[in-house]
Chain A
Amino acid sequence: MSSHSHVEDHLPHEPERATLEGRNKITAFWLFLGGETVLFGTLFAAYLTLRNEVNGGITGNELFSFGLVALATALLLTSSLTSVFALQAMHAHNKKALVNWLIVTMLLGLAFLGLEIYEFVHYAHEGHTFTASAFSTSFYTLVGFHGAHVAFGLLWAASILFQLTRRGLNTTTAPKVYLFGMYWHFIDVVWVFIFTVVYLMGKVG
């Protein structure tokens, strides 16, 4: 990897932990994700309480289709993998590969978000609107919170891309990439739970 800019070769192997600020950020972000876990846990609890309260409207079993959800899941899980590749590229101090993998991750996330928006619009046309029933309200709140997290992650990644291209990979930008990676995996794990609790249980549970 010595063909790259010689500035980056001064970086330690794990540039995200090189400064106290970086270490603080990683510690605090782990803690923050613990709090986020409680947030989603509470949303799941609310959804599980209300998922059968369809108020005479459409049920989850009639609504959900596995094809769409399977595609969305594949996209998001793959994006988690590509974010790992981005991180490996960062540890190899390969900025170009890092930027490329980040872009791939973002594109996959964007595709996922597009699918989710399509899904919501499709459901709304079926009469499954936010105000239709307790089931629909809790469904949109839970899945929508996750979608908002994805959307925020994309904006965040864009900001990190901008900083990487402008300032390069250094001990200030490296922790940001690392935190984004943690965040993206967390979103992925939450989606696995949503897939199970909302869609699988909605279809067969």
Chain B
Amino acid sequence: MDWLTTVDHKKIGILYLIAGGFFFLVGGLEAILIRIQLMFPQKEVVTAQFYNELITMHGTTMIFLAAMPIIFALMNAIIPLQLGARDVAFPFLNALGFWTFFFGGLLLNVSFIAGSVPDAGWTMYAPLSGTQFTQHHGTDYYVIGLQIAGIGTLIGGINFLATIINMRAPGMTFMRMPMFTWASFITSALILFAFPALTVGLAALMFDRLFSGNFFNPQTGGNVVLWEHIFWIFGHPEVYILILPAFGIISEVISTFSRKRLFGYSSMVFATILIGFLGFMVWAHHMFTTGLGPVANALFSVATMLIAVPTGIKIFNWLFTMWGGSIRFTVANLYAIGFVPTFVMGGVTGVMLSAAPADYQYHDSYFVVAHFHYVIVGGLIMGIFAGLHYWWPKMFGRMLSEKLGKVTFWIFYIGFHLTFFVQHFLGLLGMQRRVWQYLDGMGFNNMNFISTIGALMMGVGTILFLINIVITLRKPKDCSNDPWEDGRTLEWTIASPAPEYNFAQTPLVRGYDAWWHEKMEGNTAMTPVEPIGPIHMPNASILPFVMGIGLFITGFGFMYSGEWGTLGFITVGHAVGIVGLLITFGCMGLRSLIDDHGFHIEEDEILKDQGVKS
């Protein structure tokens, strides 16, 4: 019950981690099924229809329900601690964001039980996703489930933006903020400006399907390329939403375990902002072969190539951070160091793809699949593993096993490269994406077999990581404030896991890498800016959970509006949908009308904590 009503950002972070981790396993299982189907030519391990469902749900689940939530888990757990803040700007909204994401994701995956799974690819291109070619409810699940989950993401993004703008500790200027917080700040801005476009796209597709609209119906004047534009105006920033936090994590981890200040901090900030800006300028490079014309293609080619510049700045900064540092090869740092060459490889194939004429050859081949898995798995997932190993003690008060972690890293890392390196060549040889089988004698057999072995290795690696978590959960909670002993930022100045109020006394920040700054001056604690006093905390609330359920019910109702019979003048489905909306809006009203003043944690309780946790 405590977990359903919590508004504590650290607990919400753990909730995001559990939900995101669950969906990560689901998406991984889908990936392994895809690879088993492609292990040998012309096999039928899964049916063609189920294969389409697998690739669609794998993409959708991994991006929206696994990667982003796990990023949000780390952001929730760490950002307020790095800022020296006691809480996020809107604790209640934070919880609401989690529950809407969770129920949206749940609705998407209920499609498996209901027997009509999205099967038009994760990009849902019209007209394939329209009523003409998808008569079952697959697209409806996608459209409505993502719409609900998207609300949660948008709420989370605005919450972090407001937190970072308004809740920094005294002395924590923007140019003293840790790199992870900076990256999350830019990511949140991208969420803010990208997600509303998806909202419109999904709403338009929903109107087309549920109310016979004509947005993407060519017979009545609709425009299918419009969907591609709207989707990618959201979709390209989305991939930067994914990778920027990973950049931030890598910056923190490499700096910590090189025992050196991050090289070129201000250029890192600049590069992050520039990548964020350019992320909005390149969406049409996903549509080179759509027929936009040579001028548009050339412009978007150049804009895409430009992104290599700030990314290159970052890569060299990481290398120069390690240069001359006393590097410790902890598991977190292994992932971070493994990230650098892997991401460069993904980036280089990205530049290759950005050349529009060449893209006519690469388009919809496995070369593209290899490219984006190199940047998303080799970039983001490695970043997430690095971040989880690095901040696990801060989230749970226990260290993950280093020994098992190293085994996991090598299995996962080798498995990853086995899986996707060969796919570059498969793509160049002409193997298409999204196709259920391939013919024998095309020269694809060996590489597909290798690729599948690699995928199974990644599966083993993930299972080992889970075993590591289980083993760790049985250890006592005995981490010190600064378990790595080289912590540089504010989160390492308080207990692990942090108390409910984070900081008993708000710290004074006197430089970049605030905690390291104090260490170098020979201090063992931060200078507080206030005496110990009562701390105001928000009350827990069940409303976010109920609102999530309300939206879940709404989605169901409108989806099946035509099929459950009628109640007088209204269909049963619509009635159910309206009931769900009333639940949600009723909760909004309650939240607005009932004043919630929160409570105070008194001085003696804080002092007692310090005796236990210092």
- A residues apposed to B, CB below 8 Å: 20, 23-24, 27-28, 31-32, 34-36, 38-39, 42-43, 45-46, 49-50, 53-55, 130-131, 133-138, 141, 159, 162-163, 167, 172, 176
Contacts and interface: CB of A to CB of B under 8 A. Distances in A.
27 contacts: A24-B162, A24-B167, A27-B89, A27-B161, A28-B90, A31-B161, A31-B192, A35-B154, A35-B195, A38-B197, A39-B199, A39-B200, A42-B200, A42-B230, A49-B223, A50-B223, A53-B222, A55-B220, A130-B211, A131-B213, A134-B214, A134-B217, A134-B220, A137-B213, A159-B592, A163-B593, A172-B595
Given A38-B192, A130-B207, 5 more contacts: A20-B167, A24-B166, A28-B159, A42-B201, A136-B214
A46 B226 contact: yes
B595 A38 contact: no
B215 interface: yes
Contacts of A28: 89-90, 158-159, 161-162
Chain B: number of interface residues, binned into ranges: 35 or more
B83 to A, nearest CB: 13
B589 interface: yes
Contacts of B233: 42
B483 interface: no
B212 interface: yes
A54 B221 CA distance: 7
B223 A131 contact: no
A20 B506 CA distance: 15
Interface of B: 89-90, 154, 158-159, 161-162, 165-167, 192-197, 199-201, 203-204, 207-208, 211-215, 217, 220-223, 226, 229-230, 233, 589, 592-593, 595
DSSP class of A's interface residues: helix, strand, loop or mixed?
Answer: helix
A137 B215 contact: yes
Given A27-B165, A28-B89, A46-B200, A137 B592 contact: no
Contacts of B199: 39
A73 B341 CA distance: 58
A35 B158 CA distance: 9
Given A28-B161, A134-B215, A163-B593, A23 B154 contact: no
A187 to B, nearest CB: 15
Given A24-B162, A28-B161, A39-B199, A163 B592 contact: yes
B90 A141 contact: no
A130 B200 CA distance: 17
A135 B221 contact: yes
A28 B533 CA distance: 28
A35 B237 CA distance: 14
Contacts of A49: 223, 226
Given A55-B214, A130-B211, A162-B593, A46 B230 contact: yes
A32 B192 CA distance: 7
Contacts of A53: 214, 220-223
B193 A134 contact: no
B207 A141 contact: yes
A42 B198 CA distance: 9
Nearest to B211: A130
Contacts of A167: 595
DSSP class of B's interface residues: helix, strand, loop or mixed?
Answer: helix
B192 A50 contact: no
B215 to A, nearest CB: 6
Given A46-B226, A55-B214, A39 B196 contact: yes
Contacts of A137: 207-208, 213-215, 222
Contact of B593 (A34, A138, A159): A159
A38 B157 CA distance: 15
A172 B595 CA distance: 8
A55 B221 CA distance: 6
Contacts of B213: 130-131, 137, 141
A88 to B, nearest CB: 24
B90 A24 contact: yes
B167 to A, nearest CB: 8
A42 B593 contact: no
Nearest to A44: B200
B90 A159 contact: no
B187 to A, nearest CB: 14
Contact of B192 (A34, A135, A138): A34
Contacts of B208: 137
A137 B212 CA distance: 9
A3 to B, nearest CB: 27
B209 to A, nearest CB: 12
Given A23-B166, A138-B215, A38 B226 contact: no
Contact of A24 (B89, B194, B226): B89
Contacts of A32: 158
B193 A38 contact: yes
Contacts of A43: 200
B226 A141 contact: no
B92 to A, nearest CB: 11
A32 B592 CA distance: 18
B162 A131 contact: no
Contact of B193 (A34, A130, A163): A34
B226 A50 contact: yes
A126 B128 CA distance: 32
A34 B223 CA distance: 27
A46 B192 contact: no
A205 to B, nearest CB: 18
A133 B161 contact: no
B161 A46 contact: no
A103 B212 CA distance: 38
A48 to B, nearest CB: 10
A176 B166 CA distance: 18
Contacts of B196: 35-36, 38-39, 42
B215 A50 contact: yes
Given A28-B161, A34-B192, A141-B207, A133 B90 contact: no
B151 to A, nearest CB: 11
Nearest to B161: A31
Contacts of B90: 24, 28
A128 B215 CA distance: 15
B166 A20 contact: yes
B159 to A, nearest CB: 7
6 closest A-B pairs (Cβ-Cβ)?
A: A53-B221, A134-B221, A39-B196, A42-B200, A28-B162, A137-B213
A202 to B, nearest CB: 16
A141 B158 contact: no
